[in-house]
Amino acid sequence: MGGKYLVDQYGDPITSENPLPVSATLTGSLPAGSNVVGKVNKNARYILTTILNAGTVAAGQNTGNISIGADGTESEVWLYVNIDKQPWSLSARTMNGAALTTCLFPEYNSHANTYTQSQQPATALILGSSPVNQGLTAPTTISQAKDMILPIDATEYCRVINNHATDSATITIKALRVWR
Amino acid sequence: MTEERKQEIITSLQGAYDTFQPTDEEPELTMFGLISRYNATSQNTELIGGDWVIQNCPEPLCSLPS
C-alpha cells in the first residue's frame, strides 16, 4: 500500500476489514463499588464488572439474587468468585428460569476450597442451561462447555450460598462479559 | 445502627487497613481483604460489606479496589 493512510493503535491500516472503532457516549450509573474495565483488541472485547463487592453472608445463608448485567449479545459470560469460607455453592439462572449449580461449568456445589486471592478467583462459565436437567450431556471440558453456551439476558442472576455451618463468609463476585 | 457503633466499626476497619502488610499472595489490600479481616476478628452482627464501607467510611477505605 503506497501513500499516506490511517493506522490503528496496533499500527495496522484502517480498512473496511479493520474499521475505526465506533465512538460512543455512555450515560447512566453503576452500583456503588462497581469497577468496569473495558478493553478492545483485535480478537475479543470484554467488560469486567464487580457485581457483589465484599458482601458478608451469614452461615447457611446466601447472597440473594445478584444481577449479572448481561444483555444476551455476549459470546461468553464468566463469573469470578472470591470467598473465604467453605463449603460454598454457586448457581446461575437461565432464561428458562432454572437457577442451579449445574448451570455453570465447572460446577461449584458445596465446593470445598476457598478463594481468597483477588488474582486467583474461582472461575465459572455460564452455560445458559442446566444440561443434565434438559436432555443434554453435561460438559466435561471447557471446550465442550463453550460449544453449548446459550445466551442469557438482563433478567438473569447468580447466587452464592455460604454452606459453612457456623461462620459468616466474605464474598466478591465479578462478571466477565466477552464478545469474540 | 447508632453513630457510636458506626464509629466503632470504622475504627476496626481502619485498624485492619493500617496493619496490612503486602505479600506476594496479596500485594494490595482490596475491599474483599478488608472485610474478610473484619469478619475474622470482629463480631459482624450487622453483616456489613463493601457497600457499607463505600457509603460510610472515609478515604482510603471507601476507595479500596474490589
| Model ipTM value | 0.96
A31 to chain B, closest Cα gap in Å: 9
Partners of residue A105 on adjacent β-strands: A125
From the list A35, A57, A118, the residue facing B32 with the nearest CB is: A118
pTM of the predicted model as reported, rounded to 2 decimal places:
0.83
Higher-pLDDT residue of B17, A4 = B17
pLDDT of residue A40: 45
pLDDT of residue A158: 97
pLDDT of residue A98: 84
pLDDT of residue B51: 96
Record the cell numbers describing residue B33, joined without a space.
481483604
**Residue A35 in contact with partner chain B when CB distance is under 8 A:** yes
> Using CA atoms, how far apart are residues A134 and A100, in angstroms rounded to an integer?
12
Cβ–Cβ below 8 Å for A54 and B65: no
Check residue B16 and report its DSSP letter.
Answer: H
Cβ–Cβ below 8 Å for B47 and A58: yes
The residue of chain A nearest to residue B64, with distances taken between CA atoms, is A33
Q: Mean pLDDT in runs of 10 for chain A (180 residues)?
A: 62 68 51 48 79 98 96 94 98 89 97 96 96 93 96 92 98 94
Amino acid making up residue A81: V
Share of chain B above pLDDT 90, in %: 100
From the list B47, B55, B65, the residue facing A32 with the nearest CB is: B55
pLDDT of residue A32: 46
pLDDT of residue A38: 47
Higher-pLDDT residue of A25, B55 = B55
Collapsing DSSP to helix, strand or coil, A136 comes out as coil
Sheet of A66-67: strand order equals: A66-67, A157-162, A88-93, A99-100
CA dihedral (A95, A96, A98, A101) positive or negative: negative
CA angle, A143 then A149 then A150, to 5° = 170
> Using CA atoms, how far apart are residues A93 and A98, in angstroms rounded to an integer?
5
